[in-house]
Structure 1
Amino acid sequence: MTRIDFYTNVAQPQEFACKLAATVFRKQERLLVWLEDERAFDTFSNRLWCIADTQFIAHCRLDAAEAAQTPIWLTTALPTELQHPVLLNLGPELPPAPAQFSRILEIVGTDEAALDTARHRFKAYRALGYAIQHHDMSHK
């Protein structure tokens, strides 16, 4: 069954999202990153290409020709038929078919809008019967 990981009290959500992507990459797992729109896509993609002075995270669009050989895929639209190990949900809502992922990563910032969104998603996942892990990042 899909496991949901909520990372709360994240001061820099975009920076933290890149760190999560790097962690999944190091574990040699496949990651799908769902982004809200093309602007968010471009911003996140650029961050992954220059995560550190001497490090980058190889990634591509979900529908790119090289996707089969690339460990991290980015998309602004979730396909319903795709089975994928890990989803980093930076999208606008709950994924329509959470069961297609083994894990879903949710990042929660510190502002009220992020907290409201997280509360809604947490309740929805719980109502669907998913196991939820909470990671408080306020001291990290």
Structure 2
Amino acid sequence: MAEVAFHFNAPDKAAYVCRLLRKAYLKGARVTVLAPGDQIDALDRGLWLLAQGEFVPHCVQADPEPTRRHSPVHLLDRLDERAPTQVLVNLGEAVPDGYARFERVIEVVGLNDEDRASARQRWRRYQADGIEPQRHDLKAAGE
């Protein structure tokens, strides 16, 4: 069963996820990021624009198979069988179908009320599935 963690109070979700992906990459993790298309574009740009020497190899759904096979980070707007199943970062409004095949799920929640309300629904869904999510308050952690 997947381990689920909510990272609350991200003032800039794209910037936070880029830092999170860099940490995961440096630890050798293989990560799938599930997000709407406009957020995928922002993350793709953000990962290319990290400081010199901090680049995170990644791919998007439309990239050719060899690129996807060798990329440690996949930026997707829908899950598929080729996505790495170690870590899932969900930026969508719903719990994704198939999340249970991942070892770990990270839900990133911003500051606006809509995002928080959507996160509460996802939290309840995980609980209904028998998972007790972990809570990480980024504001309290100083991130």
Q: How far does the alpha carbon of each residue in 1:61-119 deviate from its partner, in whole angstroms, 9 at most, with x for none?
A: 24532111111111111126856110011124211112110011101111101110110
Find the counterpart in structure 1 of residue 30 from structure 2: 30
How far apart in 2 are the matches of 1:80 and 1:70? Answer: 15
Find the counterpart in structure 2 of residue 124 from structure 1: 125
Q: Aligned letter for 2:111?
A: T
Deviates more, 1:23-32 or 1:73-82: 73-82
Deviates more, 1:74-83 or 1:44-53: 74-83
Query: Which has the larger strand fraction?
Result: 1
Normalising to structure 1: TM-score of the pair? 0.90
Aligned length: 139
Find the counterpart in structure 2 of residue 17 from structure 1: 17
Q: How far does the alpha carbon of each residue in 1:3-26 deviate from its partner, in whole angstroms, 9 at most, with x for none?
A: 001001221211111111111111
Q: Are the counterparts in 1 of residues 8 and 137 from structure 2 also a CA contact under 8 Å? A: yes
Taking structure 1 as reference, are residues 81 and 44 closer, same or farther at Cα in structure 2, changes over 3 Å only?
closer
How far apart in 2 are the matches of 1:53 and 1:82? Answer: 27
Deviates more, 1:64-73 or 1:26-35: 64-73
TM-superposed CA distance for 1:29, in Å, is: 0.7
3-state SS, counterpart of residue 11 of structure 1: coil
Taking structure 1 as reference, are residues 43 and 81 closer, same or farther at Cα in structure 2, changes over 3 Å only?
closer
Q: Are the counterparts in 2 of residues 14 and 44 from structure 1 also a CA contact under 8 Å? A: yes
How far apart in 2 are the matches of 1:109 and 1:82? Answer: 25
List structure 1 runs of 4+ shifted beyond 3 angstroms.
80-83
Q: Are the counterparts in 2 of residues 36 and 92 from structure 1 also a CA contact under 8 Å? A: no
Taking structure 1 as reference, are residues 35 and 98 closer, same or farther at Cα in structure 2, changes over 3 Å only?
same
Normalising to structure 2: TM-score of the pair? 0.88
3-state SS, counterpart of residue 57 of structure 1: coil
3-state SS, counterpart of residue 6 of structure 1: strand
Find the counterpart in structure 2 of residue 85 from structure 1: 86
Deviates more, 1:39-48 or 1:117-126: 39-48
Q: Are the counterparts in 2 of residues 85 and 102 from structure 1 also a CA contact under 8 Å? A: yes
Gaps of 5+ in 2: none
Q: Report sequence identity in percent.
A: 29
Taking structure 1 as reference, are residues 31 and 105 closer, same or farther at Cα in structure 2, changes over 3 Å only?
same
Find the counterpart in structure 1 of residue 71 from structure 2: 70
Gaps of 5+ in 1: none
